[in-house]
Amino acid sequence: MSTTLKIRTPLEIAPVPVPVKLAAAWASFMFLYVYVDVFNFYKPHVVAGILEGMVWRFEVSPPLLTAMLASVMIPAVMIVLSVTLPPRANRIVNVVVASLYVPYSVFNIAGSTPEWLPFYVLSIGVELALLGFIVRRAWVSAPRREPGELGAER
């Protein structure tokens, strides 16, 4: 009896579980999201406005900074949730949270001038692509109900 051993090449793609794909997409989204904010500091008058206590058109305050912290904390938490939640909860949470981030991401273009449009179109475009990937991957990989399970089609 002989056994054939399959040796993988270094660049061969190994199967990756869906929760890991979702976590990777959230990590990418989070890094992009934070980097866009950091690069935004290089726009004229942004840092001066912050030093004067204004962010965009809002006065810097504890509620504003708490909301800003929450907006970057959610993608970080989604990395953990994507690999720890049970399948059905994972699907729901990923679809809902990613869908809620779509208008939030698009809002970043508000007040943009034509000269900054490429910056926002590129960053928001990639953010939306990542969010679309998350929604699609979570939706398509939904756990299937077994026949006879509550709510299953017959």
The model's pLDDT over 63-83, given as tens digits with 9 standing for 90+, comes to 999 999 999 999 999 999 999
pLDDT at 6 over 80: no
> Which three-class secondary structure state does DSSP give residue 59?
strand
Q: pLDDT higher for 123 or 14? A: 123
Query: How many helices and strands, by DSSP H and E, does the chain display?
Result: 5, 2
The model's pLDDT over 25-61, given as tens digits with 9 standing for 90+, comes to 999 999 998 999 899 999 999 999 999 999 888 899 9
CA distances from 121 to 32, 98, 128, 154 (A): 13, 19, 10, 46
Tokens standing for residue 102 = 């779509």
Tokens standing for residue 49 = 């406005």
pTM strictly above 0.75: yes
